[in-house]
Amino acid sequence: MTLAYQPSFEELGTPLYEVTFCVVDLETTGGSSQADAITEFGAVKVRSGEVVGEFQTLVNPDAAIPASIVVLTGITQSMVIDAPRIDEVYPSFLEFAGDSVIVAHNKSFDLGFLNAAAARLGYPKLPNRSLDTVALARRLVRSEVRSLGLRSLAAHFRSPVTPTHRALDDARATVHVLHGLLERAGTLHVTHLEDLLELPTARGNPHYDKIDLARGLPRRPGVYLFKDRHGTVIYVGKAKNLRTRVSSYFYGDERRSIGNLMREMQAVDTIVTSGELDASITELRLIHEHIPRYNRASKPPKANHFVTLTNEAFPRLSLTRKLHTGGEFALGPFRSRRAAELVMHAIWDATRIRRCSGRPGSRSGTCAPAQLGISVCPCDGSVSEAEYTAELRPLIRAIGGEPEAILDPLVDRMRDHMLALRYEEAGWARDRYRALAAALERRREWQEIQAAGTLEAADRTGEWVSIAGGRHVRSWNEKDGRPLMAVPEPRVATPVPPTVALAAEARLLWKWLAQRGTRIMSADGRLPDLATRITPISEL
């Protein structure tokens, strides 16, 4: 089932009767595309079941033709001595083939020689889409024929041309095989090129009979929802092309989880979106709404975790599950307590912030971390508030936009460990750097996008997005027209996103804004700084 949507004709794909196929066959001096050469080209162009052109020529391979090849093909050295060389033939073949779909019987052989010739002549690989009649026959008629060889298939489909190991004859025979296979594919409702190209990979998928669920889906960006027999959403995914992506599940994915998913799936719902960003955000929201059991990797966490600074005379780091408004410092949200602890340990390594929790002046001696010299301890009353503020300053600077204030000490620590051949400790320092740098980067991105206020931007595909207060409000596409825009509700600014779901959404928005080709069209606040970034540890 699909949600209400009327696809346009251009979204339905390319009907097979509109496709031009170029059926190719080559004769060569041997089986290696790198060591051997082409001796004959044969190609037939067909469209709507009719032949629209033929191409045939012998080729001088500039090498001796082995006796076994002469016996097989009948092509002798004297026949090719005056023939044009490959540098003359190949451009003519490219012009003949044009942008048609290349078809060959065992296409890896023919395309291997064509691409090897292209490389030697300074051409790029053939950009044309291609189809292998061997793979297609394996899917459609394997149980009906003795073998999948061209001679066997030509006889099976009663081709008037018998393969002779000469290029043009074999190409003509392959045309008849192709037409027979297309007729068989039609019984599986394969009527468009995109479905035909995917059909060979089906490999007898046990759930292939459910492919009818994908037949009427639009070829547009969007989100698909797989449902079980109870109507429960069991998987949510996104796609640039809904029909192609959903159909791909029936084409030979052998992962056990996919097999179980397809066994349970009984219905498909789709939501057409204005573009890829809209699809990504819709997918994210639906996963957090439905928590489908097969979306294991993106399953929302049970709780959000933050690294915060306590509100007391001598602040210390604390792990919390809620973001308290008004706090000057916060990093997160993190998907797990372990991830949050990694950032906390990174800050401890980079600063001498207290690690104890006692009241200032409440004990006669210093705590263990202070005795080791890795932190200060106000518990014994020996540290003034001014002195402690100086210890906090690197962290405050980092939060305020100077991340190197606490990242540089981690780099120094890592290098010291490496010089001392303590590689395990160096690895810990590297991991903590990465975790802290990512947390600071995400915080900066969130605050930049919030400071932009209500922002509108468009990418090169024509997708427009409206963002307000760091949140996605609406997407639309230029060709669909601009929708009525609801006035976004004012939201209280927060130092970091309050939930993992909102953080993931903000990350998607930032990456989209920062990609090449996206233009910010308007903003009622400060334009976000999309160029600044924290240097990855690999570039130091």
Catalytic residue among 156, 165, 179, 290: 165
Q: Let me know how long the chain is.
A: 540
H or E element that contains 309: strand 305-309
The C-alpha atoms of residue 162 and residue 156 are separated, in whole angstroms, by 11
Task: Report how many helices (DSSP H) and strands (DSSP E) the chain contains, helices first.
Answer: 18, 15
Chain Cα centroid distance, residue 121: 33
Told to judge if 165 belongs to the known catalytic residues of this protein, a careful annotator would answer yes
The C-alpha atoms of residue 330 and residue 399 are separated, in whole angstroms, by 9
The C-alpha atoms of residue 76 and residue 81 are separated, in whole angstroms, by 9
Q: Judge contact between 337 and 305, C-beta under 8 A.
A: yes
> CA end-to-end span of the chain, whole Å?
53
- Cis? peptide before 333, omega within 30° of 0: yes
H or E element that contains 333: strand 330-334
Q: Collect contacts of 384-388 with beta carbons under 8 A, ≥24 apart.
A: 385/313, 385/314, 388/314, 388/354
Q: Judge contact between 122 and 142, C-beta under 8 A.
A: no
SS (H, E, C) 354-384: CCCCCCCCCCCCCCHHHHCCCCCCHHHCCCC
Which amino acid belongs to residue 335?
Answer: R
**Cα pseudo-dihedral 363, 364, 369, 375, rounded to 10:** 90
Supply 242's token pair. 């809904």
Residue in 350, 353, 352, 358 with CA at minimum distance from that of residue 308: 353
Question: Which residues, in sequence order, are CB contacts of 295 under 8 Å at separation 6+?
Answer: 235, 236, 287
The C-alpha atoms of residue 518 and residue 462 are separated, in whole angstroms, by 10
The C-alpha atoms of residue 141 and residue 187 are separated, in whole angstroms, by 12
The C-alpha atoms of residue 278 and residue 285 are separated, in whole angstroms, by 11
Sign of CA dihedral 182, 187, 193, 198: negative
Which residue's structure tokens are 């991340």? 403
Residue in 41, 151, 47 with CA at minimum distance from that of residue 100: 47
The C-alpha atoms of residue 153 and residue 176 are separated, in whole angstroms, by 9
Give the residue numbers annotated as catalytic, written as ranges: 165
